[in-house]
């Protein structure tokens, strides 16, 4: 099956595209996009991979579901298109960066600038129906994105995985901790952050410290 994904990923994931579940997933997604308003736009479903080629990926952030409001989602977890209000979790991410790194709060919530530096912003589910959060969960996307995480763990070394919240933390079972770095904390959502589980995790400075130690360029967060 031909999938419009960055060529650097295609060779690593080609076997996945041939499996029955992926064929069923593709049929489901095509049907949903034909019959309903879905996000992100079709050309941006694999944006996380397009902006962060396999060989350039050095940090992985795992989200759950794309934003389901019109025009918000751009295929990168936690990211919104320019001109849209920042969702609560993204606000708390930027607040942590402010205190952790002393950087000013940014105007843009579009995280393509992170992805282009090798930060894979991977949602577990890559599509959603408008105004119906979680509507495309359990259709095969999670099988695919789990395979992506396993592939990264097996074929690369020295990656930094940022696992925020209970859902993301469960993905640690897919990662070889002897080869990679895993940083965990509460989720940046207000419910978690306001209980003291997010702020102060210093994941952004800690990530850059690790990257420097392994002779990689730090991220300009």
* Token representation of residue 106: 């940014």
Closest CA to 82 of 109, 106, 105, 104: 109
Active-site pick, 50, 65, 146, 176: 65
Q: State CA 102 to chain mean position distance.
A: 24
- Residue 208 and residue 185: Cα distance in Å, rounded? 17
* Token representation of residue 217: 């360029």
Is 176 catalytic? The answer is no
* Token representation of residue 9: 């990923």
Helix (H, G, I), strand (E, B) or coil at 146: helix
- Provide the annotated active-site residues: 65
């Amino acid at each position: 099956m031909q999938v419009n994904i960055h060529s650097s990923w295609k060779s690593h994931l080609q076997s996945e595209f041939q499996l029955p579940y992926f064929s069923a997933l593709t049929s489901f997604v095509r049907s949903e996009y034909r019959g309903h308003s879905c996000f992100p736009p079709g050309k941006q479903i694999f944006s996380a991979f397009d902006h962060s080629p396999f060989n350039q990926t050095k940090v992985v952030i795992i989200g759950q579901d794309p934003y389901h409001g019109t025009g918000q989602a751009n295929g990168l977890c936690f990211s919104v298109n320019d001109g849209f209000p920042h969702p609560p979790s993204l606000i708390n991410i930027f607040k942590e960066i402010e205190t952790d790194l002393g950087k000013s709060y940014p105007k843009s919530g579009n995280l393509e600038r992170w992805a282009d530096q090798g930060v894979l912003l991977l949602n577990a589910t890559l599509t959603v129906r408008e105004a119906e959060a979680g509507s495309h969960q359990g259709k095969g996307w999670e099988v695919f994105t789990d395979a992506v995480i396993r592939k990264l763990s097996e074929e690369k070394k020295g990656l930094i995985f940022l696992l925020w919240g209970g859902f993301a933390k469960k993905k640690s079972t897919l990662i070889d901790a002897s080869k990679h770095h895993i940083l965990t904390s509460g989720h940046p959502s207000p419910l978690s952050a306001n209980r003291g589980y997010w702020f102060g995790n210093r994941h952004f400075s800690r990530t850059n410290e690790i990257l420097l130690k392994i002779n990689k360029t730090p991220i300009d967060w």
